[in-house]
Structure 1
Amino acid sequence: METPSRPSDVERDGAPLRSMLVAIGLTVFGLILVPEFMTLPAFLADPALLEAAQTGQYGDTSLGGRTLMMALNFIGMAVAGVIYLLWTDRGLSWIDLRIPTMRDWKYIIGGSVGSIVFLLGMSNLYAVLGVPAAESQIMDIIAGDQTMVLIMIAIVFLFNAPAEEFLFRNIIQKRLYEAFTPMRSVLIASVIFAIVHLPMYMLAGSMVATAASLVIMFGGSVIFGYVYVKADNLLVPTAAHAALNAFQFVILYITMVYGLDEDLAPSFLTDILLVFPL
């Protein structure tokens, strides 16, 4: 359904501080609290996942358990968004879904190519400057399993991109429109998205590595937020997001299968919108 997602200046009467607090609360609720609850069946199905989540050693866990854990994690994000819409009486009509037009496809292609170029550019810049990237939790979950990489490509299209874009673009960013201009909303939502991951990255690397990863995460979020502003269609940033993450996993798969330089894959998987709050 298509609804007006960008109020005019006359309609933009939401309190800025309240809107920001709501956005932060939705981020914590949708990225951490609900997914934590939703993944419980996976831990019950494979108890080894509990120890692996604490140690980062997923090699002894089952493929099915890891797949279920990540699928439920993203489903949790979507559930959090739906809960918010129903709780606030906004309803499902708040969701900006429609068949992509030719104009939408231009933004899908632009967002996909732009995000991939951004990722490549930043990865190469960091390599030249000798800036390390914080370790990615997803690399621990994959645990060197080529089959898991292929499963992740499917998860990206079916769960990851749809859930994250629904929560961060169609819920959080759109909620910020009530108090801020669309582009300010994009920047605020992207800052919140990056900051909420700060503790997770700090545990995985130095401050320099953490900052490097958060810059990439922020940049990717800005790109997807911008194409959502231009298209007013959730499918547009979702498709661009899925293309970027699929590209990352394809590179990783090729690297693993053909035994290419092992440093290549982590540089492409710097955790742009792929951090799992497990």
Structure 2
Amino acid sequence: MATTSQQREDGPIRSTLVAVGLAAFGILASQFTVLPALLLDPTVITSPLDASIASRTLLLTLNFVGFVLAGAIYLAVTERGRSYVDLRLPTKRGWLYIIAGVLGSFVFYVLVSLVVQLLSLPSAENTVTSYIGDDQTMILVMIGIVFFFNAPAEEFLFRNIVQKRLYDAFSRGQAVVIASAIFALIHVVSYAVSQSLLATVVPVVVVFGGSLIFGYLYAKTDNLFVPIAAHAAFNAIQFGILYIALEYDLETAEPTTSLLVDLAATVPL
């Protein structure tokens, strides 16, 4: 917890600007870390579905490596070091939070899906859908990416770095909301090409809601493993559902893809 003197020295405005800067730095770093994949196979950007699974996997993996790199650089420059990283095996209470987080995410997902369907709301697709298409093998690969790269990298940067940095000037509840808002807003770029403002707003709101859940888990446990596990488990199950939908040619496969990727909260390349 930050002391009162620290809070006065690092006010809300400065703390928020630093948090925004860290998020932007993470995106910028990811643009550099994906360069090897682009050089090895340029079609992974120009025509993703024509690229090999290996090329797509490398690109998506290196994208998340950029988040880890950004966070690591911040810790080194500020001399916070490895001790700043709240990663450890969870207690029994921590495992209960993980289960609750997965269940809470499903409830949120179902509610959002119902609202979208009942109101016939448009929802723009995230860039990552262009790397998956209806390729079932790539869906299985995404499950591995979620567990080993996506969830760990995003939770490390946006929870252990951005959200924790906001603790210096805000209450934990406020920090969760602000960090989630930053996380959602950086996704606007990947939806800005949609045909309507509403189609852009819907997925951004979905990202915000999912981020609130994972941010809350971290705030309550001070253990990065908890939101990582909940995030990875939830998205892995969702990708599994998408795989089954495509396998059996279910009608829900197409509309599920957009919200699925939104809840996976993949930052645009």
TM-score (norm 2): 0.95
How far apart, in 2, do the equivalents of 1:249 and 1:232 lie?
Answer: 28
Output the amino acid matched with 2:109: L
Q: Distance in 2 between matches of 1:243 and 1:87?
A: 33
User: Of 18, 28, 31, which aligns to 2:14?
Assistant: 18
- Rounded to whole Å, the distance in 2 between the matches of 1:138 and 1:196 is 15
Is the 2:125–2:258 Cα contact (8 Å) retained in structure 1?
A: no
Which position in structure 2 is the counterpart of 1:27?
A: 23
The aligned residue for residue 140 of structure 2 is 150
Gaps of 5+ in 2: none
Question: Aligned runs of 1:31-46 on 2, under 5 Å?
Answer: 32-46=27-41
Partner of 1:3: none
Deviation at 1:63, TM superposition (A): 0.8
State the alpha-carbon separation in 1 of the partners of residues 79 and 249 from structure 2.
Answer: 53
| Larger deviation, residues 172-181 vs 132-141 | 132-141
In the other structure, the counterpart of 1:234 is 224
Which residue among 227, 244, 248 is the counterpart of 1:258? 248
**Equivalence for 2:236:** 246
CA distance in 2, matches of 1:137, 1:120: 22
Q: Give the total of aligned pairs.
A: 267
> Is the partner of 2:168 in helix, strand or coil?
coil
- Going from structure 1 to structure 2, the CA distance change for 1:87 and 1:187 (only over 3 Å counts) comes to same
Match of 2:125 in 1: 135
Q: Which moves more between the two structures, 267-276 or 248-257?
A: 267-276
Alignment match, 1:218 = 208
The C-alpha deviation readout for 1:155-181, integer Å capped at 9, x for no partner, is: 000000000000000000000000100
Q: Distance in 2 between matches of 1:267 and 1:89?
A: 40
SS of 2:146's equivalent?
helix
SS in 1 for 2:263: coil
Measured on the aligned residues, the alpha-carbon RMSD in Å equals 1.4
Deviation at residue 50 of structure 1 after TM alignment = 3.4
Question: Which of these residues, 246, 269, 273, is aligned with residue 260 of structure 2?
Answer: 269
CA distance 1:172–1:75, shift in 2 (3 Å): same
**Percent of residue pairs bearing the same amino acid type:** 51
Structure 2 CA distance for partners of 1:166 and 1:244, relative to 1, 3 Å = same
Letter in 2 for 1:18: R
Question: In the alignment, is the contact (CA less than 8 A) between 2:126 and 2:258 conserved in 1?
Answer: no
In structure 2, the residue matched to 1:117 is 107
2:41 corresponds to 1:50:
no
Which of 143, 151, 161 in structure 2 is aligned with 1:161?
151
Mark the runs of 5 or more structure 1 residues left unpaired by the alignment: 1-5, 53-57
- Indicate which of 173, 176, 184 corresponds to 1:186: 176
**Aligned letter for 1:27?**
A
- Show CA shifts across 1:219-258 (max 9, x none): 1111111110100000000011111211221111011111
Q: Structure 1 70/159 Cα, relative in aligned 2: closer, same or farther at 3 Å?
A: same
Q: Which moved more, 1:64-73 or 1:132-141?
A: 132-141
Residues 53-108 of structure 1, C-alpha deviations (whole Å, 9 max, x = no match): xxxxx221111000000011011111110000001111111000111100101111
Separation (CA, whole Å) in 1 of partners of 2:93 and 2:159: 19
Q: Secondary structure at the match of 2:266?
A: coil
- What secondary structure, in the 3-state scheme, does the structure 1 residue paired with 2:157 have? helix
How far apart are 1:276 and its partner, in Å?
3.6
Deviation at 1:135, TM superposition (A): 1.3
**Aligned letter for 1:47?**
P
Secondary structure (helix, strand or coil) at the match of 2:49 reads coil
Q: Which structure features the higher share of helix residues?
A: 2
